[in-house]
Amino acid sequence: MRAVMYGAGNIGRGFIGPVFSWGGCFVQFVDVNQGLVDALNARGSYPLRVIRDEAHEDLPVDNFEAINGRDQDRTAQAIADCDLMATAVGAAILPLIAPVMAEGLKRRFAKTDKPLDIIVCENLMDADQVLAQLIKQRLDPEEQALFDARVGLVEASIGRMVPVQTEAMRAGDPLRVCVEEYAFLPVDKAGFKGQIPELPGLTPFTPFDYYIRRKLYVHNMGHATCAYLGHYAGSTYIAQAIRDADIALVTQNAMLESFTALYRRFQAPADALLNHIYDLLGRFANTGLGDTCQRVGADIPRKMAREDRMIGSALLCLEMGVRPDYIALGAALALGQYLKEQGRPLTEAEALKALLALSGLGPQEELAQIIMAYFPLVAANASLRELRLAAWENKRRCLGPVV
């Protein structure tokens, strides 16, 4: 069985490539980094280092070759000949690889009627639909019909945390990739056109919208909230921040707000979702990852977009009858950090202007008002304890009668 892994970066080599290799596939990594391609081909293996605080285990990854993505003919032929495929290139790169993928599929349609499933490992809502549109623009009507019948674009939820690889992590080996222990790969069961492969950690599920939202509104939102709290408090690392009791309580309660909304929306098993939160909090504390609050909290305009982790999770909460005070506090901290990065004054007027521009919320929307209620505390540099108690009191006050 041959599998094409389009993208040999952190996720490609640190997660999906090993899943394919250890599942019995011969993996063809496709990447435009010629130095990386040459090194992978020269060595024929590389170490995957699984880290937990100060401990680690090196696992060998082999049974692969690497192809330079600029060699479009060879890349297209690999796609035409493979049995399974995945992309992990980044949302901005999808338009650049779509023409080569289209050419590979044309060659495939001419030689076989076997279906091809492509696991789309991109941090993008509706990534399968975006990629389908990009590819089908380059196919004629007959090929588009074959695409719809034979090509499965399978959304994936990438939960494994793969940090920025430092020289210390590489420990003298430029091919080493350090990752956390978590290695499950939830995928959209309904997206497959062929037989679902048996691969280690592969977890088919439907309806997959639950997993997409769980990843974005619990994992990503919790991670970002911890980062903004940590940055506010002067912590460098996520693992350092989450060990602060106030930060841990706010982060956990923000995740529990999303938990309640997801439970009501999807009737998801409560015990499994709660265990996922407790596991994530422990994973955030992994000192071996070396993940910084600055990196995790970066790109605030994307994280504060209406459908993304901070605003999207809070809106889902309100839709499901959950008041998102802890998420709103995280969003207010994100606004404060954003204004500082922009060199703008930390005034309520500037914060509201930024919030409306980033999120698309209206000034009279309930969520905008909840977020802005916390901003004066952020602007006044209130202590973490004061922030936590404010969210706690607002939450309690708005609960109404509780039997």
Please report, for the chain, the start and end positions of each structural domain, with discontinuous segments joined by +: 2-205, 209-397
Q: What angle do CA 200, 52, 14 make, to 5 degrees?
A: 45
Residues 362-377 have a mean pLDDT of 97
How would DSSP label each residue in 86-155? EE-S-GGGHHHHHHHHHHHHHHHHHH----EEEEE--SSTTHHHHHHHHHHTTS-HHHHHHHHHHEEEEE
In CATH, the number for domain 2-205 is 3.40.50.720
Residue 172 confidence (pLDDT): 86
When pLDDT is cut at 50, 70 and 90, the band that residue 171 belongs to is confident
Averaged pLDDT of the chain: 96
pLDDT at 20: 98
- What pLDDT is recorded for position 32? 97
Q: What is the pLDDT of residue 346?
A: 96
- Residue 168 tokens, joined: 């210390």
**Radius of gyration in angstroms for the set of CA atoms belonging to the chain, rounded to a whole number:** 22
Residue 167: band (very low, low, confident or very high) from pLDDT cuts 50, 70, 90: confident
Is the pTM for the entire model greater than 0.85? Answer: yes
More confident residue, 163 or 59: 59
Which of 332, 365, 367 lies closest to 351 in space, CA to CA? 332
* Residue whose C-alpha is closest to residue 12's, from 71, 69, 58, 52: 69
| Region at 217 (left for phi over 0; alpha for psi -120 to 50; beta for the rest) | alpha
Candidates 224, 218, 216; CA nearest to 329 is 224
Percent of the chain with pLDDT over 90: 93
Burial class (CB in 10 A: 0-12, 13-18, 19+), 77: middle
CA atoms within 13 A on the CB side of 94: 22
**CATH code for residues 209-397:** 1.10.1040.10
Q: Do domains 2-205 and 209-397 have the same CATH topology?
A: no
pLDDT of residue 53: 93
Of 115-129, 214-228, 326-340, least confident by mean pLDDT is: 115-129
- Tell me the per-residue pLDDT of 247-301, one tens digit each, with 9 for 90 and over: 999 999 999 999 999 999 999 889 999 999 999 999 999 999 999 999 999 999 9
52 pLDDT tier (thresholds 50, 70, 90):
very high
Q: What φ, ψ does residue 87 adopt, rounded to 5°?
A: -120, 140
- Give the other-Cβ count within 10 Å of 288's Cβ: 20
Beta-sheet strands, E only, within 168-276: 177-179, 185-188, 202-205
- Is the CB of residue 184 less than 8 Å from the CB of residue 17? no
